[in-house]
């Protein structure tokens, strides 16, 4: 395991010159030697935005292997582990860049809430962003401006301009991820159908009582996607995120039980997987405007 705590550690790993800025750097992958990293697992204490248009060695991120082919962008948050396999083709022509920045760079800036603003940092590798030629060009221009600003002598405007250029890069990434959700409409429809099937199966299994509520994480795992990706996809396609869908199913199931059975509200809450009946009652009222008892009385 290679643990990179700061930007200087990264530059040393790639045998680059000492970074001009202690909290951010741009690496040109065309001049790096990655052969030494084959077989390594790498964890970094900073954010990584990496574009590669070659497949020199496969990357394992989470439980999936991923090949960089035809221009793909991968965004990784601090603490996540990337593993490179032992295969390496030194004959292949390399093209790519990486922007690496420490969380301390963002303190007090417009990017301070970066994990909320740019949820793609927690997407899995098989959800990497595949770029068109125009998109590659736009990002390359952003990276060039960022690299130029990092190389400038530090003055009172350096921090603001560096963060502004970084924000522009990330905003383009967010735009292109949104575009990818649209262009993958067919694949998304299949995933939505699988999601509805999994959620329906949970409610029809008769195993809700004592097992707790279905979680965003468990549903995402069944669909082999990351929780953030699933929620963002559902939000884009249906207007509701994963948790909203779970709650909608719960309310419909609760209504059926209130009308079709004599179960007490407490017993019904346990049957639906709630640990605390009062939470079920609060959720039901927030979604319907009535308590469970009031709903039953109106039927």
Q: What CATH number is given to the structural domain containing 27?
A: 2.60.120.280
Do 25 and 92 lie in a common domain? yes
- Which residues form the domain of 283? 187-297
Distance of CA 60 to the CA centre of its chain: 16
- CATH code, domain with 251: 1.10.10.60
My answer on whether 218 and 293 are in the same domain is yes
235 and 162 housed in the same domain: no
- What DSSP designation does 207 have? -
Strand partners, 4: 44
Q: pLDDT digits over 119-158, tens only?
A: 888 776 556 788 888 899 999 999 999 999 999 988 999 9
Q: Exposed (0-12), middle (13-18) or buried (19+): which is 188, by Cβ within 10 Å?
A: middle
What beta strand segments (E) does the chain contain?
2-4, 24-28, 41-44, 47-52, 59-61, 64-66, 72-76, 81-84, 96-101, 129-130
For the stretch 50-102, pLDDT in tens is 987 755 445 554 444 444 455 688 888 888 777 766 555 555 566 789 999 99
**Residue 231 corresponds to which tokens in the numbers above?**
């929620």
In the prediction, which pLDDT does 21 show? 93
Q: Is the pLDDT of residue 2 over 60?
A: yes
Same domain, 77 and 149: yes
- Give the gyration radius of the chain's Cα atoms: 24
Per-residue confidence (pLDDT) for residue 210, from 0 to 100: 52
Q: 149 and 11 in one domain?
A: yes
Together in a domain, 126 and 193: no
Domain boundary among 139, 162, 183: 183
**In terms of domains, do 44 and 81 share one?**
yes
pLDDT in tens, 223-281: 888 888 888 888 877 778 888 888 888 888 888 888 888 889 999 888 888 888 899 99
Q: How far apart are the two ends of the chain, measured CA to CA in Å? A: 62
Is 202 within 8 Å of 208 (Cβ atoms)? yes
Do 75 and 33 share a structural domain?
A: yes
Domain boundary among 165, 183, 201: 183
Average pLDDT over residues 270-295: 88
Domain boundary among 126, 160, 183: 183
Helix, strand, coil distribution of the chain in percent, nearest 5:
55, 15, 35
For the chain, what is the domain count? 2
Asked if residues 115 and 59 have their Cβ atoms less than 8 Å apart, the reply is no
Residues 192 and 44 in one domain: no
48-85 in b/e form (b: 16+ CB < 10 A) is: bbbbbbbbbbbbebeeeebebeebbbbbbbeeeebbbe
Check whether residue 88 and residue 205 sit in a common domain.
Answer: no
170 and 195 belong to one structural domain: no
Put simply, whether the predicted model's pTM sits higher than 0.75 gets the answer no
- 24 with 151, same domain: the answer is yes
Q: What is the pLDDT at residue 52?
A: 79
């Amino acid at each position: 395991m290679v643990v990179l705590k700061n930007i200087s550690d990264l530059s040393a790993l790639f045998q680059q010159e000492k970074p001009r800025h202690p909290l951010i750097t741009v690496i040109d992958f065309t001049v790096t030697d990655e052969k030494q990293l084959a077989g390594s697992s790498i964890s970094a204490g900073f954010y990584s935005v990496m574009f590669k248009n070659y497949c020199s060695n496969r990357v394992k991120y989470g439980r999936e292997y991923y090949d960089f082919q035809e221009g793909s962008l991968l965004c990784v948050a601090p603490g996540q582990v990337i593993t490179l396999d032992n295969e390496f083709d030194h004959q292949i022509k390399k093209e790519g860049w990486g922007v690496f920045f420490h969380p301390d760079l963002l303190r007090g800036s417009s990017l301070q809430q970066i994990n909320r603003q740019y949820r793609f940092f927690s997407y899995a590798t098989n959800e990497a962003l595949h770029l068109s030629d125009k998109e590659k060009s736009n990002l390359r221009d952003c990276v060039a401006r960022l690299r130029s600003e990092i190389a400038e002598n530090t003055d009172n405007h350096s921090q603001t301009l560096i963060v502004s250029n970084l924000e522009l890069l990330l905003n383009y990434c967010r735009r292109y991820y949104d575009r990818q959700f649209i262009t993958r409409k067919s694949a998304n429809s299949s995933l939505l159908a699988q999601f509805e099937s999994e959620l329906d199966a949970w409610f029809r299994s008769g195993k809700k009582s004592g097992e707790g509520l279905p979680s965003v994480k468990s549903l995402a795992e069944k669909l082999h996607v990351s929780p953030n990706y699933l929620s963002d996809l559902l939000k884009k396609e249906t207007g509701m995120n994963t948790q909203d869908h779970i709650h909608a199913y719960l309310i419909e199931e609760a209504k059926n039980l209130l009308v079709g059975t004599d179960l007490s509200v407490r017993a019904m809450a346990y049957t639906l997987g709630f640990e605390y009946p009062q939470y079920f009652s609060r959720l039901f009222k927030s979604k319907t405007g009535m308590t469970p008892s009031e709903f039953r009385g109106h039927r």
